[in-house]
Amino acid sequence: MRMNSLHRREFLTLTGLAGAGMAGSGLAALALGSTKARAASLPSAPAEGDAHRGPCAIASGNCDPGVAKAYEMVMSGFDPADAVVAAVKFNEDDPNDQSVGLGGLPNEEGIVELDASVMHGPTHKAGSVASIRNIKNPAAVALEVLRKTDHVMIVGEGALKFALRMGFKEENLLTEKSRQAWVQWRANLNKDDKWLDDDQQIQPVGGKKVSAIEKSLMFTWGTVHCSALTPAGDMAACTSTSGLSWKIPGRIGDSPIVGAGMYCDNNVGCAGATGRGESMIVNCGSYAIVQNMERGMTPSEACAAFLNKLCDHTKEKHLRDAKGRPNFNVSVYALRKDGAYGGACIHPGGSYAVADGTAANAKNLRIVACTPLFND
């Protein structure tokens, strides 16, 4: 069980850790804005990633093979921003990945709108595009915003025009698979509209039956994130997504928002997220995780402490389950300046990918389960 804020104050008083000057130790890290439940949710021994040192790339679990590519690039002397953008491009280019780029699930009107951002540690610059249509690699467009303009964020029509000027090619991003998923969602949206529901539709003889997976596509999230650390200690972070499926046109999630869907401080570390973007935005999620690390928490602690706070801030009834916990998932990932890394999620299921040259497999990456806040 998690602890409410009264309990939290009691915890700070009882342990005598509420004062200043505690930053730097794991215990102090727990005390800073911590709760007993958060302490209980943290592993008693340091998580494996917290002990890691040296260059590496970490990513959301779907960033395969991208995370290995990012590691290979930073080890070959590439800029970390190029490495993280190259990592997410694999997902953006994959028509079968329905959460990112080409083939991403569309908005409620059946149009694919993409969000992405990238942040470069050495210059502390960021670039971002949001609600961009017809360009399958929004992260690369965001990198152009970072490098070629004095802006941070360009949205919608302006983002498309900017991308075309930068030489990107316009294309239809709605694959047949995603179009069918949208038609399926649309048909079952409202029993009283003029779209026939599943059980009312006349199936052509020999027609394809709708799979359980397609039926389950009510609202889905999905995103790819990658952070990387070079041997020289430079860092970058990138997040790319098609966002929440069936969203209201123009809805922007956390992924293109600096400090929400990703953040990088070259002196401290990087963080990124996948899952319910609205919750990352209102909690300034990735920035908060990096701040936690700056106060002395390990990456695993920083992620868990942040998610605990996110849970405290989830007040709306429709977002809570019968036990009062968030009824959605968020996975967060953190990479510290020295190479320590970690990941956490609210409910079991999240995972992250790590490439540091030690994986004993042909893919050169490891998939690690995010530590869940609740064991469900």
Q: Is the separation of the CB atoms in 326 and 320 below 8 Å?
A: yes
Q: Residue 219 Cβ, how far from ligand ASP at the closest point, in Å?
A: 10
- Candidates 275, 285, 342, 350; binder of ligand ASP (CB under 6 A) is 275
Can residue 343 be called a binding residue for ligand ASP (CB under 6 A)? no
Can residue 255 be called a binding residue for ligand ASP (CB under 6 A)? yes
Can residue 258 be called a binding residue for ligand ASP (CB under 6 A)? no
Secondary structure (3-state) at 8: helix
Pick the closest to residue 7 from 29, 34, 40, 26 (CA basis): 34
Q: Residue 205 Cβ, how far from ligand ASP at the closest point, in Å?
A: 38
Can residue 106 be called a binding residue for ligand ASP (CB under 6 A)? no
Pick the closest to residue 228 from 260, 192, 262, 201 (CA basis): 262
- Candidates 131, 241, 286, 298; binder of ligand ASP (CB under 6 A) is 241
Number of residues that bind ligand ASP (CB under 6 A): 13
Binding segment (CB under 6 A) for ligand ASP, from list 15-23, 240-248, 315-323, 334-342 = 240-248
Q: Residue 280 Cβ, how far from ligand ASP at the closest point, in Å?
A: 6
The answer to whether 223 is a known catalytic residue is yes
- Candidates 112, 244, 288, 303; binder of ligand ASP (CB under 6 A) is 244
CA distances from 101 to 58, 78, 98, 223, 305 (A): 20, 24, 8, 10, 31
Q: Is the separation of the CB atoms in 279 and 153 below 8 Å?
A: no
- Candidates 104, 277, 285, 342; binder of ligand ASP (CB under 6 A) is 277
| Token code pair at residue 117 | 């951002």
Secondary structure (3-state) at 33: coil
Q: Residue 275 Cβ, how far from ligand ASP at the closest point, in Å?
A: 5
Q: Residue 247 Cβ, how far from ligand ASP at the closest point, in Å?
A: 8
3-state helix, strand, coil in the chain (%, to 5): 35, 20, 45
The secondary structure of residue 200, as a DSSP letter, is G
H or E segment and range at residue 306: helix 299-313
| Active-site option among 223, 230, 241, 298 | 223
Q: Per DSSP, what are the bridge partners of residue 125?
A: 120
Can residue 274 be called a binding residue for ligand ASP (CB under 6 A)? yes
Q: Which residues bind ligand ASP (CB under 6 A)?
A: 221-223, 241, 243-244, 253-255, 274-277
Catalytic residues: 223
